[in-house]
Structure 1
Amino acid sequence: MMMDKLAPSPPNLSGKVALVTGASRGIGRAIAQRLAAAGATVVVTARSLDASIQGTRGGAPAIMAGTLQETLAMIAAQGGTAFALAADIESAEDCARLPQRATEVAGGRLDILVNNAGLADFLPVADMPIEIFDRTISHYLRAPLAISQGAIPLMRQAGAGWIVNITSQDALPPIRPYPAFEKFRGYAVYAAAKAALNRLTQGMAAELLDDNIAVNAVGPSTAIRTPSTDSLIPADFPTEDPAYLAETVCAMVHLPAAQRTGLIASSLHFPWHYHLDVHSLDGQTRLSLQEPPAWSHPMINASGN
């Protein structure tokens, strides 16, 4: 694939409408902030409109901090424009209706879709209830597919579109000899779902190229600590700033599909490889490039190809 020379100035997304799922906290909130700072009108969606919701960790109940109203307030404070839609991606009806609902609140168009929402409930395969397996697959495959199916006709109508699926380095095969955490972390099903999402991304990229709809995947190069993942990441593990992932997403949603589609990009590797300017989530501060650390997965392809 021919890759463009990345411009030093950030993309201008003025006039574009973006829909970001799972945007009440963490990575989804960071992406929504960065897209808004680049000029996009952002529609944020999650279950938690104005109150935190209950999730599960290790099969046990847990409160997930963060709301869409908080995300709206952050975007407004940085001078951006955003709207909130409450939706549950485990609902087939909600997934099917989300893209059209987004156009109705944000000016009649949809240019960008970021499939970020997901379930992080880790248990060893031997101990995992089939309900958690089903929910994990639903969050990372069924929901992105269903929401994309609703978005594609709108993007075709506009003559262009950009879909970004949020992935993980966990989709790559485990390192051998197996490190100790592979034996107890309990993320095999999550990793399998992300690997399938990567393949879905590449297949969609091929199918939608002639429609000028780019489909890419972006994930952390290491790990990002969020309210949803904090309990799953060891306290001493060096995590990364979500601004690098948000900037990588921003880089995926402004060029024609023929120039940038079908990539599986990692948040520190991609900016480092292409000398991409990285900005704070409000777009006001230029951050230094960070060389991917030695503890990143050795099979990550820095170019995303």
Structure 2
Amino acid sequence: MGVLEGKVAVVTGASRGIGAAIAERLAAEGARVVAAARTVDASQSRLEGTIGDTVARIEAAGGTAFAQPADLSREQDRQALVEAAAERYGTVDILVNNAAVTYFTPVSDFTDRRYHLMFEVQVNAPFHLSRLVIPGMRERGAGWILNISSIAARHPAFPPGPYAGFGGTVYGMCKAALERFTTGLAAELYADGIAVNALSPNQVVPTPGTLFHRLTTEDAPGTEPASVMADAALALCHRPAAELTGRIAYSQDLLAELRGS
């Protein structure tokens, strides 16, 4: 019996990278996982991985999951995702908002379409999905919402470093907004027993996305395996809200803290 036995978990952006690792980790602890993303067929993306691949790995390991195609920029797809999860498995206990569409472009060159798309997927979608799952969590008196953030949410140092012109301003804006949403929602839902946390890696994680954007390489020193984020996500998705909520957590720091407690 895993610590998530009987729980229903929705993980967005679960076709690859951190999202796939979290989906597999939650399933290994007994959760019935709904893996959501746009990529159903390998031909749909330049990046490796589909939600079918993630589900296949979960099932091969003895877990339970199904793939739900969802474009998180579309309100109707977000609604359909929660409805499909409830129809297949029941009330959602755990929501992991991991999906992202990211462009690294300086502000002076950023298009309106890309700007609005990034905020729709990385800020509005977590807001909307959280609203959709809160009623069921409140009814049960427990629940876990985890928003995947990034060290990019931090303010830059001055004088700025060599990456200041790389084009991460809008990405950082999205993650900063997500973190403020996290702490505000955690305060609102504390009395309901619903934990809301944000989680970032301490170091860049080599994933198809970070490799594509040339943020790191497969063999670069000082990187963090996706499994570390998955372990930290698990830690934030089963402890009572009275014990662990409203945190802007960093994976390695959190795991070290919990080991020492």
**What range is the shorter-chain TM-score in?**
over 0.9
Q: Measure the CA separation in 1 of the matches of 2:158 and 2:52.
A: 44
Residue 136 (structure 1) aligns with? 118
- In structure 2, which of residues 121, 135, 141 is the aligned counterpart of residue 159 of structure 1? 141
CA contact (8 A) 1:120 1:229 kept: no
| Cα gap change, 1:275 to 1:177, in 2 (>3 Å) | farther
1:109 maps to what in 2?
91
More helix by share: 2
Aligned counterpart, 1:249: 233
Is structure 2 residue 141 aligned with structure 1 residue 150?
no
Matched, 1:214 2:195: yes
Shift in Å at residue 200 of structure 1? 0.3
- The 1-side partners of 2:238 and 2:43 are apart by 33
1:82 maps onto 2:65 in alignment: yes
CA-CA distance at 1:248 after TM superposition: 0.7
Cα distance in structure 2, aligned partners of 1:36 and 1:242 = 15
Whole-angstrom CA distance in 2 between matches of 1:254 and 1:216? 12
1:227 aligns with 2:208: yes
Letter in 1 for 2:198: A
Are the equivalent residues in 1 in contact too, given 2:2–2:28 (CA < 8 A)?
Answer: no
Q: Equivalent residue of 1:229, what SS?
A: helix
Post-superposition CA distance 1:207-227 (Å, at most 9, x none): 111111110001111111111
Structure 2 partner of 1:71: 54
| Structure 1 residues 123 and 197: CA distance shift in structure 2, 3 A | same
Distance in structure 2 (CA, Å) of the matches to 1:271 and 1:92: 35
Q: Check conservation: 1:155, 1:161, Cα contact below 8 A.
A: yes
1:25 partner letter: R
Task: Tell me if structure 2 keeps the 8 A contact 1:52–1:64.
Answer: no
Aligned residue among 14, 18, 29 for 1:38: 29
**Does 2:179 align with 1:198?**
yes
Partner of 2:74: 91
Q: Select which of 221, 224, 239 maps to 1:240.
A: 224
Residues 105-143 of structure 1: CA distance to partner in whole angstroms, max 9, x if unpaired? 12x221000000011211011111111111111111100
How many Å separate the matches in 2 of 1:11 and 1:271? Answer: 18
Task: Determine which of 233, 241, 250 is the counterpart of 1:266.
Answer: 250
Q: Give the Å deviation of 1:249.
A: 0.7
> Structure 2 residue aligned with 1:168, among 150, 153, 158?
150
AA aligned to 2:77 is D
Shift of 1:237: 5.7
The aligned amino acid for 1:199 is: R
Matching residue within 94, 102, 105 for 1:120: 102
RMSD: 1.7
C-alpha offsets along residues 79-110 of structure 1, whole Å, 9 cap, x if unaligned? Answer: 1111111111011111123222111112x221
- The offset of 1:203, in angstroms, is 0.4
Could you tell me which of 178, 198, 215 is aligned with 2:160? 178
CA offsets per residue over residues 218-265 of structure 1, 9 Å max, x none? 111111111122122143463211111111110011122111110011
Residues 11 and 254, structure 1, Cα contact 8 Å, conserved in 2? no
Residue 60 of structure 1 corresponds to none
TM-score norm. by structure 1 comes to 0.81
237 and 180 in structure 1: CA distance in 2 versus 1, 3 angstrom threshold:
farther
* Whole-angstrom CA distance in 1 between matches of 2:130 and 2:185: 10
TM-score between the two structures when normalised by the length of structure 2: 0.94
Residues 271-286 of structure 1: pairs in structure 2 closer than 5 A: 271-275=255-259
Counterpart-to-counterpart distance in 2, 1:53 and 1:148: 27
- The CA distance in 2 between the partners of 1:125 and 1:68, in whole Å, is 32
Name the CA distance, whole Å, in 2 between partners of 1:237 and 1:135. 32
- Asked if 1:20 corresponds to 2:14, the answer is no
